[in-house]
Amino acid sequence: MKLHPTRLLACLTCAVWLLAATDIAHAQAPADEDSAEVRAKPRPARTSNARAKRGPNNDPGQKIAPIPPAELLPLLPSAPDAEWKLTASRAYNELTEAPRIMTFAKRDFKRTPPPPANPAPGAPAPQPQTLTLTVLDIADDPERIGDLTELEKSAASPPAPATDQLAFYKLGKLSVRETGPAPGAALAPGVTHGRRLIVAALRKRFLIVLNLTNTSKEEAHAWLNRVDLAKLTAAAATPRQREGVIPGMEDIFTLHSVDELNPKGNQTTQISRVSPEEMARREASGRAQFQKKDPAPPDVP
């Protein structure tokens, strides 16, 4: 799928950074234009067991398992100082249309700037700075790999014209797309900087998204530099297998969600991508096999 560079963001971030639902792992509410959270689209039910093992279009299935949520979340940066407060820290699996399992890890930070030493009469108080930092491990989802490839091409050869509002560039191992406030844009009272969005691709495996408000370009880049790319790369190099795969039932997926600030909200869920008819057939087959191994005793008069 070829995407025009200026439309790439919609496909890459597809609702990643403003996750407000309590059930972070499996909320199905549609994402709006500003909130981007990648949600799997419903796929037609499959009734063929042979096709279920390989997926659509003879897809052999997921070969690279993503980093588990509980392992990916600690790899995200912490607050750089006491002024930045961690307000949310969550990680969870999502099931894509392919189908593939991906892992999201997200941390929210907030900082209230101190008031100026000599404020002008009637000057509004400084507004808080906010940051939502998301790291997405796409594993081997073919659609997302295509999106990251397009971003890498745009960063290597930035399209013209380049403006202060939109820029593509390389930053070490990262391919970056950055959108900032327009020069001279009207800002709310107490706001010194507008909204800035940074989307970065790492080795066709990770998508890093920074959504910042009231934060300067220099501060935004400092946050991006806090992401430990070496640890992400090392974690991705660790061989992993998809968890909970039952032979002959590869279309049942195990998903996890973890909440660092509220561990009671941690959950594990299994999702099936088979039709009700296929599930009923499997249940009947399982009962038949069980009865062969352990037949019911004869009725006692």
- pLDDT for res 113: 83
Residue 300 falls within a domain, yes or no? no
- pLDDT for res 36: 37
- pLDDT for res 200: 95
- pLDDT for res 162: 57
Residue 299 falls within a domain, yes or no? no
Residue 18 falls within a domain, yes or no? yes
Strand-pair partners of 22: none
DSSP 8-class letter at 5: G
- pLDDT for res 74: 97
State the CB neighbour count (10 A cutoff) for residue 190.
Answer: 13
Question: What is the CA 27 to chain-centroid distance, rounded?
Answer: 14
- Count of structural domains within the chain: 1
CA angle 262, 263, 264 (to 5 degrees): 90
In this structure, what token pair is assigned to residue 202?
A: 């790492």
Q: How far apart are CA 242 and CA 62, in angstroms?
A: 8
CA proximity to 143, closest of 3, 249, 298: 3
* Phi, psi torsion values for 245, nearest 5 degrees: -80, 125
- pLDDT for res 109: 98
- Tokens 């907030």 found at: 110
- pLDDT for res 202: 92
- pLDDT for res 129: 92
Print burial letters for 205-239: b (CB count within 10 Å at least 16), e (below 16).
Answer: bbbbbbbbbbbeeebbbebbeebebeebeebbeee
Q: How far apart are CA 153 and CA 47, in angstroms?
A: 39
- pLDDT for res 107: 98
- pLDDT for res 248: 62
- Tokens 């296929």 found at: 278
Q: How far apart are CA 183 and CA 186, in angstroms?
A: 9
Residue 298 falls within a domain, yes or no? no
CA angle 219, 230, 203 (to 5 degrees): 90
Q: State which residues form the domain around 206.
A: 5-22+49-111+125-292
Are 99 and 262 within 8 A, CB to CB? no
Are 21 and 88 within 8 A, CB to CB? no
- pLDDT for res 52: 36
Residue 96 falls within a domain, yes or no? yes
Q: Could you report the average pLDDT of every consecutive run of 10 residues in the chain (301 residues)?
A: 44 39 34 36 35 42 85 96 96 86 96 81 81 93 84 86 77 91 69 86 92 91 94 90 65 90 92 73 78 65 57
Residues in the chain: 301
- Tokens 């970065």 found at: 200
- pLDDT for res 114: 82
Strand-pair partners of 154: none
- pLDDT for res 134: 97
